[in-house]
Structure 1
Amino acid sequence: MSIKYKIIELIQGDITKLKIDAIVNAANNGLFGGGGVDGAIHRGGGKEIDDQCKLIRERQGGCKTGEAVITTGGNLEADYVIHTVGPVWNGEKSGAEEFLSSCYKNSLNLAVEKNIETIAFPCISTGVYGFPKDLAAEIAVSSIMEFLKDNTGIKKIILVCFEDESFKIYKKLLGLYNSN
């Protein structure tokens, strides 16, 4: 299923199967590959992604929460993987909202820097990191919309939801933005 809003497209499916310039990985600080989308990207991308993540760890110690780094797509259909580390949800006053917004903005800035025109995002921090799905979706969409006000290098942004609940949340949210 797919819904389009200007250059933003919403789909339900497997981000690792997209033929696109870059996919975003909801990574951990050590860039080791874990569960969920992170594990799927590392398994699908293979040794090349793991080797480049190792080099990043050696160079800078991994990736801090809210920041983003880039590797090849390895065996994936995507040319690149932009790894960003979302925050663990500990409540509204923890600053998690700002870190999550930074994940989207820093990933998009890195994409523009690398001349990437098409990029796909998973639902960042909503799995084992426990971020409320509705709030995460609001932050994702508002961060992307804010970024697009001043940047024209990105031609297509795909929001990829693996499961029904998140897809319905994004669909409703994008419908609200569409009516403004």
Structure 2
Amino acid sequence: MRQKGFTLIELLIVIVIIAILAAALIPNILNARARALQAAAQSYARDVVSALESVQSAFSRIDWQQTAANSLITIATNGALGSTNSGWRDAFGNVLNPQPTVNWSDFLRVPTNGITNVIVGSSAAGNFDNIRVCISQRVPTTAGQRFNIYSLYVNGNRFESRLNQTSAATAMADCP
């Protein structure tokens, strides 16, 4: 007479198969989260470019690319939108006088998905080819506070990243 149930070997084979499947799926699940965070940062960088275009339309004397090529535009710090009232330039690169105040909350939604700092500028004064939106994004980790830093190059439509940094970007030298 045959007993009902599974043998120990059959149970071990099933456990091994489940372990192999879990080992194959877990990295993909973790990568999906990283890709989602990167997509959120890239989307917000494009929103920033749209906001800069809106600022240029609303304040007819402002040329945001002249400003970004010659100084740093700080849009968000510590997850909060700020205002910019210095450094604005016209289409010829001349500093505006008086300086208009741009409240970024009028043009952008508050950053989410861990985005803390948003700056716009160039690696060298007057260099229009390297104007970029730089996004710092806090990422969950067990090793303390870490940041992924992303740059969207406006005039080259290139997106680059520096992952797992110990601090958020506060200057263009911190950005990829």
Query: What's the TM-score, normalizing by structure 1?
Result: 0.27
Specify the structure having the higher radius of gyration (Cα). Answer: 2
Flag the structure with higher helix content.
1
